[in-house]
Amino acid sequence: MRQFRRIAVLMLLVSSFFMTGCDVAQIMDVVGKIATGVQQAMPAIKGVVDAFGGVASGTAQVPAANAPAANEQAAANTANVVTIDPNAENVGAANAAAAGTNQAAAAGTALGAQVSSSIRALVGSTSFRGADVDGGNLACAKVVSTALKNAGALSRVSLNCDQVVADLRAAGWKTVQVPPYQDGDVVTWTTSRGPGRHIGIIVKNGSSFQAISNSSSERTPRATAVNYLPITQVLRKV
């Protein structure tokens, strides 16, 4: 800025010299007026220079007249910002998962009660003495799958323990750790013929549990202790 001022004064002096015909008094008068004008113009010149510098550096201030519009734009930008709390999302997902688990457990308990009621209704029945089950000697799978079908847990009756277990797994039943038992659990036992060769359904009797399965000697379904044979596995709708 200082260099610009010196050059401007020098140019004015030269111009004044040519315009006044070398009259010293007139030159000094013109120079005085020019110096005064330059001094008065300096704040405006400085303002222009500062403004250009601010634009170049990106730090120019918004004029007061434009301040409301800038504030409105800032408010609009703030309004469009959506804050997401990841912890809130995790809590929501956990609650939804817990609700789904509780609903599935409730549905499994209701189905278990239906299965338990269905197998109880078959105790003492003489309907399982046909030739297809050796006169009632090998009717355990037929008894259990009939009870499950009547309760809506399975869609068919089977004559083989392994087939009943496979159908249950296909329907969403899983092996569970016991105790505790639940009403309507399906249990398989190990016999002299191997693991899982006998099958029954667990029912609640007061505060304890029993199992209902076909009796080969009586050729009819009857209640026994849950562990009257070594347990192979227990399946439950979960």
d(CA 20, CA 30): 9
State pLDDT tens for residues 119-130.
Answer: 999 999 999 999
Return phi, psi of residue 121, to 5°: -70, -15
Q: How does pLDDT run across 166-213, given as a tens digit for each residue?
A: 999 999 999 999 999 999 999 999 999 999 999 999 999 999 999 999
Q: Give the tokens for residue 87.
A: 């912890």
The answer to whether the beta carbons of residues 159 and 165 sit under 8 Å apart is no
Task: Report the amino acid identity of residue 73.
Answer: Q
pLDDT at 238: 84
Q: Is the pLDDT of residue 226 over 70?
A: yes
Domain range annotation of the chain: 1-54, 129-237
* Mean pLDDT of the region 86-109: 61
Instruction: Give the pLDDT confidence score for residue 109 in this predicted structure.
Output: 85
CATH of 129-237, one of 3.90.1720.10, 3.20.20.140, 3.40.1690.10, 3.40.50.2300: 3.90.1720.10
Tens of pLDDT, residues 36-72: 665 665 665 566 556 545 544 554 454 444 555 555 5
84-120: burial string, b at 16+ Cβ within 10 Å, e else = eeeeeeeeeeeeeeeeeeeeeeeebeebbbbbbebbe
